[in-house]
Amino acid sequence: MTEKSNAPEKYNAAEVEPRWQSIWAERDIYRADDNSDKPKFFALEMFPYPSGRIHMGHVRNYAMGDVVARYKKAQGFEVLHPMGWDSFGMPAENAAIATGGHPKDWTYNNIDEMRAPMQRLGFALDWSREFATSDVAYYKEQQRIFLKFWEKGLVYRKTAKVNWDPVDNTVLANEQVIDGKGWRSGATVEQRDMDQWFYKITNYAEDLLEGLKGLDRWPEKVRTMQANWIGKSEGLQMRFELDNVSQIAVGQNDNLNALKEEAPINPTREEYIEFIQKALKSVPSYDDVDLNKVWESILNGVEIFTTRPDTLFGASFLALSPDHPVTKCMALNDSKFEDFRAECAKIGTSEEAISQAPKLGLDTGLRVKHPFIDGATLPVWVANFVLMGYGTGAVFGCPAHDQRDLDFARKYDLPVIPVVAPTEEKNKDSVHPSEGWGPEHNSTDLSTNALDPRLRGDGRNGGEIVEAYTGEGTLINSGFLNGLNKADGIAAATAKISEMGLGEAVTQYRLRDWGVSRQRYWGCPIPVIKCGACGSVPVPEDQLPVELPYDISFDKPGNPLDHHPTWKSEGVTCPTCGEAAERETDTLDTFGDSSWYFAAFGGSLSADGMDWDAASKWLPVDQYVGGVEHAVLHLLYARFFTRGLIDCGLLDLSHSKFGGEPFAGLFTQGMVTHATYALADEKVDKDKWVLPEDVDANDDGTFVHLPTGRPVLKGDIIKMSKSKKNVVDPDEIIKGYGADVARWFVLSDSPPERDVEWTESGVIGAWRFSKKVWSVVSDTTATHGPMAIASDASGDALELRKLAHRALEKLTAGIEAFRFNTSVAQIYELTNALSKYKGQDAARMEALGILIRAIAPFMPHLAEECWNQVGGEDLVYHAPWPTVDPKMLVDDTITMPLQVNGKRRSELNIPKDMPKDEIEALALADDAVLRSIGDATVRKVIVVPGRIVNIVAS
RNA sequence: GCGGGCGUGGUGGAAUUGGUAGACACGCAAGACUUAAAAUCUUGUUCCAGUAAUGGAGUGCGGGUUCGAUUCCCGCCGCCCGCACCA
């Protein structure tokens, strides 16, 4: 090679990258200005947990956000792109228990260790706004928020059945229990009754659901998952009056009936409770039973919830949950109920167990009155498929039109009464109304054998119902509902029940309130004082923060705050009455920490507090990027918190067209995967994985472990994980190839929402490309600056201009649409064209200027170095995004494909504005076209200007 | 079971108003340079037939709409993700 210019021959990332990073830092170019006149753009990636190492997933996540942040900056926005640490949580405590250190030291050491490689990646981050959620300043503000939420009625305390993780020794929210196991520990979750703090997320159930509709820049998948999680259903909540109550609470005795006769007329609730307590006073464990519900069931009837009141005439039983208060009450005095409850509990909570569990039932002997059929009663069963956690914990069973009810009815030989005749022809066979609409259904004896055969769908009437029919249809066998369709039937039945005073239309949500008490040390202390006289009292705001003590020990299981010799009670008095009191020792769920951190960035949170007005101005986050694993948990909590903060007057988002939404745009990126390799002759699963770099391929396609010579099998290509030994350390890649190469690789090839497979050859390809860009730049003798516009170009120069502007248009669209892989492809094309182009002229400089500014969001160090090399003004970071010249996108002559009967046979090079008839004439004269047509007759010629010509011949 | 998504060369993937299927990259092959290798550069690379020109087939499978379908519609098959006895 000969010397071509004054540029260094080789691009040395190890020298170039730190040099630019220190220039950026010195000039403080990434600091966001709260008072800028420019339109704002808030780019945010989900902040990391400081585990101690950054991994490739982080690199991909932050690289995507960085592309957006840098691109928006070049587009003229004032960009806020901050970084912080989600630093409270279990791993710090687990590490402390395992190694004898302190969670705080462990956490902050990790943060220091992770910050350095993150800075080596050269992200355009405003580090001046950095904080960790375990900083006292951060949790002080969070304690303020807790108290504000309390004032607003968004916080409450209650004893509730909670999910207890026996490994982490703490409570979990419903969202944190996955397949009956703790989301972090994987331990089977137990149910325990505990005193807990709750956030009233259900207040916003409707709003959180409604808000999803406006989030048009969120993935459909995430919106659907949240909507399903909120789980709205509209239906009828109604009571079935008990016909005989003697067995409730007293088993085989009937002194309760006697008591009922003693009951006062129109008693108050308290009188009811006192009354039933009297009845139960000989039973030791009645504390566990919700007596309100029991007594209401006795006096007013058993409450059920249904979305299908139109099928009430098809009801053949009522089913209670094993955990229903009435069931529990009966279990107190009758062991068969307790035995049944125990049997149900045995099934467990795992996904398979539940879905495969057989239907179990127990007849209580109670009967309820059918609301529409005078004199008819239905048996009341306890059934294991009825959940206490949804609706009222009781349902009515309509076997003909609900599969679970049908399974249950078949098992226990309960009647199956079809009441909906399918509308669709192909479903006609599934239900057999015998004649017309069927008889008026007013049979008072609903036992199977006594039923009019024309009401039966159990096979005794010629046609057996094999599958419950849940579709549209016409009501039959249904008295006053006969002939109505599903929707009208629901409306009519609901109206009738309301009129009878037995119930009303209600909306149910699956969403539960968010239990936030955690019996752990490393979290935000709940700012509450527990006073024997005054109960739970908020810590006055001027006494915040309630600070975590440093001197704690993990020598006992459980919560170190609870074991602390002084923290809980020494010098603690009740703010209300002044008497000695105790601190709340629970800490807040760490998901609360990540529910408002985006606001803290905008508000420049520091030891002096934060500026909520500034926070409001920066919100909503314009582009949020993170993993899809947070689709429900974090993203739902953050949406709730933002609404709460608005209602408390801390945030004002009245300027946002997204209402109370914190994240206007969301992108969920795919994972970084890598091949796994396992020793073929190793039996122990955890010992069989080997490092990919120690594996070599044999000529016959098998693999061998180099250090030991043992045979190796290639495993699945899966997410990088330490246990599978398929991790690649980003810092090693930075050292070997440079940060730009690591960034370029994770954005190339695969679409951002999909997984990208880490391969050695892919990294080398990215590395070669960076060298190629540098060689194109160093082959350039700068004749103009990189902002040149070669408006008088012709010939090859004009072709280069056209290619550059076309590439620019497409790559810009790619960034806008989060399709970075297509932007990367356009950058390749432009680079290839430039490396072939020989001219040292304005056209070269224009194309080069476009190229350098286009790669700047992806490979910022290389771009700065190139920009500097070709004489660009200032930093490329400050250079405006190049603009597309629309004239360069149109050609004077175009190539038009010629089709015969839809198959391409030839093409025409013609002026772009040639009239249709001339095109047609040329097409019909084309040799290849004539050959294809052969003997056939031309029937029709379709000319789509600028697109295609199709000749129809037969 | 319910909901969402996907199916294109040896591989990752392009083709976002129905208009040249396979851009770009990886891999592979051949060549140039080199004592040699690496690096770099050039060329080729959907499959089948043919030296070639060219012809035929082709976007999971089967139908349909259309001058024209990877794209729209109907019915299957397969894979992935989420939820899961939610009344």
A323 and A408 housed in the same domain: yes
**A61: in domain:** yes
Report which secondary-structure segment, H or E, holds A941: strand A938-944
Mean pLDDT of A899-910: 86
- Please say which residue of A850, A881, A912 terminates a domain: A881
The average pLDDT across A823-838 equals: 93
Residue A130 CA to residue A43 CA, distance in Å, equals 15
Count other Cβ atoms within 10 Å, centred on residue A651: 24
Half-sphere exposure of residue A26: CA atoms within 13 angstroms, side-chain side: 7
Tell me, what's the pLDDT at A348?
56
CATH number at A598 reads: 3.40.50.620
| Cα-based angle A539, A605, A108 (whole degrees, multiple of 5) | 90
Q: Is the CB of A632 under 7 A from strand B?
A: yes
Lowest mean pLDDT among A25-39, A411-425, A735-749, A863-877: A411-425
Asked whether residue A191 carries a pLDDT value surpassing 60, the answer given is yes
Among residues A847, A881, A915, the one where a domain terminates is A881
Give yes or no for residue A67 having a pLDDT over 80.
Answer: yes
Q: What is the pLDDT of residue A321?
A: 92
A575 lies in the same domain as A665: no
Same domain for A895 and A816: no
Structural domain containing residue A313: 234-414+484-508
Beta bridge pairs of residue A458: A464
Percentage above 70 pLDDT, chain A? 89
**Quick one: which residue's CA is nearest to B69's C1'?**
A902
- A819 CB below 7 A from strand B atoms: yes
A840's tokens: 């040292």
Q: What is the pLDDT of residues A243-263, one digit of tens each?
A: 766 555 444 444 455 555 665
- Please report whether residue A210 resides in a domain: no
DSSP state of A33: P
Q: Give domain status of residue A209, yes or no.
A: no
Same domain (yes/no): A547, A597: no
CB A660 within 8 A of CB A642: yes
pLDDT at A912: 80
Of residues A780, A820, A870, the one with CA closest to residue A4: A780
User: What does the DSSP 8-state code read for residue A464?
Assistant: B
To 10 degrees, the CA torsion angle through A534, A538, A541, A544? 110
Look at residue A850 and tell me if it is in a domain.
yes
CATH of the domain at A834: 1.10.730.10
Any atom of strand B under 7 A from CB of A765?
Answer: yes
Whole-number pLDDT of residue A768: 92
Asked if strand B contacts A386 at the CB level, meaning under 7 A, the answer is: yes
Smallest CA–C1' separation from A319: which nucleotide? B87
Residue among A412, A428, A298, A305 nearest A366 (CA): A298
Distance, in Å, from the CA atom of A37 to the CA atom of A29, rounded to the nearest integer, reads: 17
Whether A60 maps to a domain, the answer reads: yes
Q: Is the CB of A327 under 7 A from strand B?
A: no
> A438 lies in a domain?
no
Q: Positive or negative, the Cα torsion across A611, A617, A620, A626?
A: negative
Q: What is the pLDDT of residues A293-305, one digit of tens each?
A: 887 888 788 999 9
Instruction: Please report, rounded to a whole number, the percentage of residues in chain A having pLDDT higher than 90.
Output: 49
Residues 328-357 of A with CB under 7 A from strand B: 347, 351, 354-355, 357
Residue A653, CB, less than 7 Å from strand B?
Answer: no
**Phi/psi of residue A118, nearest 5 degrees:** -65, -40
- Assign residue A929 the CATH number of its domain: 3.10.20.590
Q: How far apart (Å, rounded) are the C-alpha atoms in residues A834 and A650?
A: 54
Distance set, CA A107 to CA A86, A88, A516, A564, A819 (Å): 10, 8, 22, 21, 36
Q: What backbone phi and psi angles, to 5 degrees, belong to A645? A: -65, -35
Q: Which two tokens stand for residue A715?
A: 């495993």
For residues A835 and A877, state if they share a domain: yes
Residue A428's pLDDT band (cuts 50, 70, 90): very low
Q: Give chain B positions with protein CB within 7 A.
A: 3-5, 12-16, 19-21, 23-27, 39-42, 55-57, 67-69, 81-87
Flag whether the ipTM exceeds 0.90. yes
d(CA A704, CA A713): 8
- Give me A399's structure tokens: 């076997």
* A361 and A502 within one domain: yes
Q: Which of A669, A685, A703 represents a domain boundary (last residue)?
A: A669
**Which tens digit of pLDDT belongs to each residue from A451-468?**
777 777 776 666 677 778
The whole-number pLDDT of residue A432 equals 47
Dihedral of the alpha carbons of A51, A55, A61, A62, in degrees to the nearest 10: 80
Residues A2 and A59 in one domain: no
One domain for residues A96 and A54? yes
Q: Retrieve residue A668's tokens.
A: 């969920």
Once rounded to an integer, what is the mean pLDDT over residues A309-332?
Answer: 89
Identify the pLDDT of residue A350: 46
| Domain count of the fold of chain A | 5
DSSP per-residue string spanning A413-458: T------EEESSGGGGGG---SSTT------S--SGGGS-GGG--B
Q: CB of A174 within 8 A of CB of A512?
A: yes
Paired tokens of A528: 């509450």
Residues A299 and A373 grouped into a single domain: yes
Verify that A905 and A837 share a domain, yes or no.
no
A697 touches strand B (CB under 7 A): no
Cα(A823)–Cα(A809) distance, rounded to whole angstroms? 10
Residue A438: Cβ-neighbour burial (10 angstroms; 0-12, 13-18, 19+): buried
- In whole angstroms, give the CA distance from residue A142 to residue A140: 5
> Rounded to whole angstroms, how far apart are CA atoms A49 and A133?
10
Q: Which amino acid is at A430?
A: S
Q: Is residue A801 part of a domain?
A: yes
Q: Are residues A24 and A37 in the same domain?
A: no
Distance A807 CA to B9 C1' (A): 25
Using the CA of A948, give the nucleotide whose C1' is nearest: B19
Helices marked H in A13-129 — which ranges?
Answer: 13-27, 56-74, 90-99, 103-120
> How buried is residue A357: exposed, middle or buried, by Cβ count under 10 Å (0-12/13-18/19+)?
middle
Q: How many CB atoms are located within 10 Å of the residue A471 CB?
A: 12
**The domain that contains A313 carries what CATH number?**
3.90.740.10
User: Tokens 């006969």 appear where?
Assistant: A482
**Helical axes A760-778 vs A730-737, angle rounded to 10°:** 40
Question: Is A44 strand, coil or helix?
Answer: strand
| Strand B interface, A 419-448, C-beta < 7 A | none
For chain A, the 3-state helix, strand and coil shares in percent, each to the nearest 5, are 40, 20, 40
Report residue A5's pLDDT band, with 50, 70 and 90 as the boundaries: very low
Could you give the CA distance from residue A509 to residue A231 in angstroms, rounded to a whole number?
Answer: 5
Indicate yes or no: strand B within 7 A of the C-beta of A512.
no
Q: What is the mean pLDDT of chain A?
A: 86
A474, amino acid identity = T
A151 touches strand B (CB under 7 A): no
Question: If you average pLDDT over residues A850-872, what whole number do you get?
Answer: 95
Mean pLDDT value of segment A785-811: 89
Q: Label residue A129 by pLDDT band (50, 70, 90).
A: very high
- Give the tens place of pLDDT for each residue, A551-582: 998 887 778 998 899 999 998 999 999 999 99
Residue A624 is given by DSSP the state E
Give yes or no for CB of A221 within 7 Å of strand B: yes
Nucleotide B44 C1' to residue A762 CA (A): 22
The pLDDT of residue A430: 47
Spatial separation of the C-alpha atoms in residues A668 and A61, rounded to whole Å? 9
A902 and A868 in one domain?
no
A277 vs A611 pLDDT, higher one = A611
- Would residue A35 count as lying in a domain? yes
Residue A370 predicted with pLDDT over 90: yes
